């Protein structure tokens, strides 16, 4: 046995992965394997290729890279002796590498061909071949189905919330357009009546000058004061024989017209043209107000579209300089319907000097969605004020985000398993147990951050630390 071989066996014996194996068993494994050097920037194995070898880190480090969209994204690291990847074809003839193993720190890998691994396990642990093969296929099927369902549930929740958010301004804009169509017809009719009265250009200029004095967006008084103003105007108009006095009074009062203004208009125009002139003023004022409503409604739709683009990070590079508060805000917009439906008050505490970080914004938004969604669910069962507090602050080496609820809190045994895949306390149909597992993977494995839970009778704090 060579000195190199001796050194390799010593390294393997120190790994938890091979603890309990005899020297004979390790010798047999190493005899059918080879040692491959880890070279920075060089791929040891590639995503999608047949997983026909089992790779074990002896020393050094690899990063695991997956091709997502148009970019290569780091999804994990093999930087601890005993970390392994591949070998799936020892149990599954269709097994392939789930990621590319790319060297980052010089070192060594033990490369064991899949047939050797299968024969070695078959000899020393015969039942393990069938157990591992069945477990691998079952776990892959369950995880794939559950993750798809979790994604569909999340997508359905967001789609329902977005549809509700869009419905209000869209309906308001539609109603305003219908009203504007009627008002335009009334405006044309009023102009026709003015023309038939044969008023002069000077009269019309006087009319338009008085109209321009009215506020573009009058301050609407309370309902009682508005009703009094309408009644006063209606009596004044009726006393001068103006047709449709009550209908005109309602529109004119809403435009900020009072009796004094009407009296000035009556002095400036022939008596016969007073009714058509007031109808024209009421129409122009109503049209202006309706246009403002349409502008506000369509502006709200535009804001929602911007929030969706920010949330989904459409057409944006995977890794980018991220404003964490922007992602939190777009998430709150996307979940606004659920927050209002559960009667949850939102309190924001964002540090003014919060630094930007390099991160995958879309993935972080998925984290915030899971945390906020869970917080809302935790508060729906409590009979007290429901407050969601979202905190973003800076630390010397990290940005910290906290999502705090006023729910019933988690028992210690639940908090201990909260990040376990498929663990959930929600009833069937509401949760898959993957939300926090996915969030943890994104934060810890993809962004090298940390997640922790603080829970008690007064609620739960989910704390995320992301390195600068």
pLDDT digits (tens, 9 = 90+) for 429-448: 444 445 687 788 888 888 88
Whether pLDDT at 452 is above 80: yes
> Looking at the domain covering 3-124, what would its CATH class be?
mainly beta
Give the range among 139-148, 252-261, 387-396 with minimum mean pLDDT: 139-148
Tell me the C-alpha distance between 239 and 261, whole Å.
Answer: 16
Record the tokens describing residue 27, joined without a space.
Answer: 């010798």
Answer for the pair 364, 324: CB distance below 8 angstroms, yes or no. yes
> For the residues of 250-268, what is the DSSP string, one character each?
HHHHHTT--HHHHHHHHHH
Tell me the C-alpha distance between 64 and 62, whole Å.
Answer: 7
Per the prediction, the chain carries an average pLDDT of 81
- The count of C-alpha atoms lying within 13 angstroms of the C-alpha of 26, restricted to the half-sphere facing its C-beta, is 20
* Positive or negative: CA dihedral 351, 354, 358, 362: positive
Residue ranges of the domains in the chain?
3-124, 165-303, 318-467
Tell me the C-alpha distance between 126 and 456, whole Å.
Answer: 48
Whether pLDDT at 67 is above 80: no
Tell me the C-alpha distance between 152 and 137, whole Å.
Answer: 23
pTM passes above 0.75? no
CATH architecture of 318-467: 2-Layer Sandwich (3.30)
pLDDT digits (tens, 9 = 90+) for 339-396: 888 889 999 999 998 999 988 887 888 889 889 988 998 898 777 889 999 999 999 8
What is the per-residue burial (b if ≥16 Cβ within 10 Å, else e) of 92-101?
beebbbebbb
pLDDT at 4: 46
Of the candidates 403, 404, 401, 394, the one whose C-alpha atom is nearest the C-alpha of residue 443 is 401
């Amino acid at each position: 046995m060579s000195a190199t071989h001796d050194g390799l066996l010593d390294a393997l014996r120190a790994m938890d992965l091979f603890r309990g194996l005899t020297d004979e068993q390790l010798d047999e494994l190493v005899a059918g394997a080879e040692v491959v050097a880890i070279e920075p920037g060089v791929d040891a194995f590639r995503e999608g290729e047949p997983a026909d070898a089992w790779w074990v880190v002896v020393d050094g480090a690899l990063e695991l890279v997956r091709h997502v969209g148009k970019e290569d994204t780091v999804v994990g690291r093999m930087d601890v002796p005993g970390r392994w990847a591949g070998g799936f074809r020892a149990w599954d003839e269709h097994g392939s590498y789930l990621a590319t193993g790319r060297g980052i720190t010089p070192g060594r890998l033990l490369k064991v061909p899949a047939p050797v691994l299968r024969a070695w396990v078959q000899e020393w642990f015969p039942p393990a071949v069938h157990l591992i093969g069945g477990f691998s296929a079952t776990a892959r099927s369950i995880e794939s189905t559950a993750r798809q369902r979790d994604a569909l549930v999340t997508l359905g929740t967001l789609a329902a919330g977005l549809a509700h958010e869009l419905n209000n301004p869209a309906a308001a804009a539609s109603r305003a357009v219908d009203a504007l169509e009627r008002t335009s017809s009334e405006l044309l009719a009023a102009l026709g009546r003015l023309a038939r009265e044969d008023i002069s250009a000077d009269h019309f200029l006087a009319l338009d000058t008085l109209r321009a004095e009215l506020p573009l967006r009058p301050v609407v008084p309370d309902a009682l004061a508005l009703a009094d103003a309408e009644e006063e105007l209606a009596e004044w108009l009726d006393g001068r024989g103006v047709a449709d006095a009550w209908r005109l009074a309602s529109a004119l009062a809403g435009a900020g017209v009072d009796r004094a203004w009407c009296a000035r208009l009556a002095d400036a125009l022939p008596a016969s043209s007073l009714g058509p002139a007031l109808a024209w003023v009421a129409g122009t004022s109503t049209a202006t107000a309706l246009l403002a409503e349409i502008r506000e409604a369509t502006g709200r739709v535009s804001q929602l579209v911007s929030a969706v683009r920010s949330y989904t990070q459409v057409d944006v590079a995977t890794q980018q300089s991220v404003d964490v508060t922007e992602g939190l805000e777009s998430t709150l917009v996307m979940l606004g319907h659920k927050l209002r439906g559960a009667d949850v008050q939102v309190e924001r505490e964002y540090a003014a000097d919060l630094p930007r970080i390099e991160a995958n914004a879309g993935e972080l938004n998925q984290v915030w969605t899971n945390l906020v969604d869970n917080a809302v669910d935790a508060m729906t069962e409590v009979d007290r004020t429901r407050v969601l507090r979202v905190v973003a602050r800076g630390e010397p080496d990290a940005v910290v985000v906290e999502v705090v609820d006023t729910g019933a809190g988690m028992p210690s045994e639940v908090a201990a398993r909260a990040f376990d895949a498929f663990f959930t306390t929600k009833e069937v149909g509401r949760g898959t147990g993957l939300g926090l597992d996915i969030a943890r993977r994104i934060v810890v494995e993809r962004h090298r951050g940390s997640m922790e839970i603080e829970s008690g009778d007064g609620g739960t704090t989910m704390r995320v630390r992301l390195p600068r």
